[in-house]
C-alpha cells in the first residue's frame, strides 16, 4: 500500500552566530518547530535566506509556508530608528528575505502560518508597526488566549488555548487588511487573520512549546498542513 507524500512546508531559516554541531555560523530551525510540523503530517524543509530571491522559482514543489520566530526586526523597516537597548540581533538580510517571502506567499495563495516574529514581520511587510520593547515582556509567559472568531477555520476544538509566549516586541499599529482575532488579557494582539489569496493566519505565541500537552496547538498546525495538502 502506497501513502500520499507529506505536504512540503517551507520554513525560512534563522541565522545563528555559532552552533556546537557546525563550528561556524549556522542557519537553524527550532527542532521543536520542525517536530511539530512533522507531528501535524507535514514535511518541514529549512530554506536559506538570501537577497533578491526568486520565490516563485524557489518554492516550486512547496505546498505551504511557515514563517517562524526569531530575533528582532530592524525598526527601519517600519520607519523608525532603534529606540531601545533591548533590541537585539538585528539582521537586515533576514528582514529582507522575510518580507519578500511574506509578500510572495500571500499573493500566490500558498497556505501560510506565521509564528511570533513571523506575525510581526508579516504586519510590517503589510504596512504596520511594532512596539520595540514592551513594558512587561511576555518571556517564559504562558496564559490562556481566547479566539474571537475563525475557530472552525483554524481547526480548533476549543476557542481557548494555552499560549506559550517568548517575545519582548509586539504589534503596535495593525497593518491594513489584517484582522485581529485574539488578544491577551492586556489587550495585545495574539492572533490574526492575514489578507491573502489562500489560508493565512498568524499567532504571537509558540505552538511548538506545548503542542504535546495542549491539543489546540497541534490542531492549529494540523489544519495548516491539511490546507497545504489540499492545495498540493
Q: What is the pTM of this model?
A: 0.96
Model confidence band, residue 193 (pLDDT cutoffs 50, 70, 90): very high
- What pLDDT sits at residue 2? 60
* Marked catalytic residue, from 116, 138, 167, 227: 116
Q: What is the pLDDT of residues 135-186, one digit of tens each?
A: 899 999 999 999 999 999 999 999 999 999 999 999 999 999 999 999 999 9
Q: What is the pLDDT of residues 85-108, one digit of tens each?
A: 898 889 999 999 999 999 999 999
What CA–CA distance (Å, rounded) separates 161 from 164?
Answer: 9
Return the domain boundaries, the chain: 8-231
Instruction: Supply the mean pLDDT for the chain.
Output: 95
In the annotation, is 165 catalytic?
Answer: no
* Marked catalytic residue, from 190, 208, 219, 227: 208
CATH number of 8-231: 3.40.50.880
Strand order, beta sheet including 189-193: 43-47, 8-12, 64-67, 112-115, 200-203, 189-193, 179-183, 138-147, 160-167
Mean pLDDT on 189-196: 98
* Marked catalytic residue, from 138, 167, 206, 219: 206
How big is the chain, counted in residues?
232
Give Cα separations from 93 to 41, 50, 96, 198 (angstroms): 31, 7, 5, 26
Least confident of 1-5, 8-12, 20-24, 120-124: 1-5
Q: What is the pLDDT of residues 45-75, one digit of tens each?
A: 999 999 999 999 999 999 999 999 999 899 9
In the annotation, is 140 catalytic?
Answer: no
Amino acid at each position: 500500500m502506497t501513502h500520499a507524500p507529506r505536504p512540503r512546508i517551507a520554513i525560512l531559516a534563522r541565522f545563528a552566530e555559532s552552533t556546537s554541531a557546525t563550528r561556524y555560523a549556522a542557519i537553524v530551525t527550532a527542532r521543536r518547530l520542525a517536530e511539530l510540523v512533522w507531528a501535524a503530517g507535514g514535511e518541514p524543509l529549512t530554506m536559506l535566506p538570501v537577497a533578491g530571491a526568486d520565490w516563485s522559482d524557489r518554492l516550486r514543489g512547496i505546498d505551504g509556508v511557515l514563517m517562524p520566530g526569531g530575533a528582532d526586526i530592524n525598526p527601519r523597516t517600519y520607519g523608525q530608528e532603534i529606540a531601545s537597548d533591548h533590541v537585539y540581533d538585528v539582521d537586515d538580510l533576514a528582514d529582507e528575505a522575510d518580507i519578500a517571502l511574506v509578500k510572495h506567499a500571500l499573493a500566490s495563495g500558498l497556505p501560510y502560518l506565521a509564528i511570533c516574529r513571523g506575525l510581526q514581520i508579516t504586519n510590517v511587510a503589510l504596512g504596520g508597526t511594532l512596539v520595540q520593547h514592551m513594558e512587561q515582556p511576555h518571556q517564559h509567559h504562558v496564559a490562556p488566549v481566547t479566539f474571537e472568531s475563525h475557530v472552525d477555520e483554524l481547526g480548533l476544538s476549543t476557542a481557548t488555548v494555552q499560549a506559550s509566549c517568548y517575545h519582548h516586541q509586539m504589534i503596535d499599529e495593525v497593518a491594513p487588511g489584517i484582522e485581529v482575532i485574539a488578544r491577551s488579557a492586556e489587550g495585545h494582539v495574539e492572533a490574526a487573520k492575514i489578507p491573502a489569496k489562500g489560508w493565512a493566519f498568524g499567532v504571537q505565541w509558540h505552538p511548538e512549546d506545548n503542542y504535546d500537552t495542549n491539543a489546540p496547538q497541534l490542531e492549529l498546525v494540523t489544519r495548516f498542513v491539511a490546507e497545504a495538502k489540499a492545495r498540493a
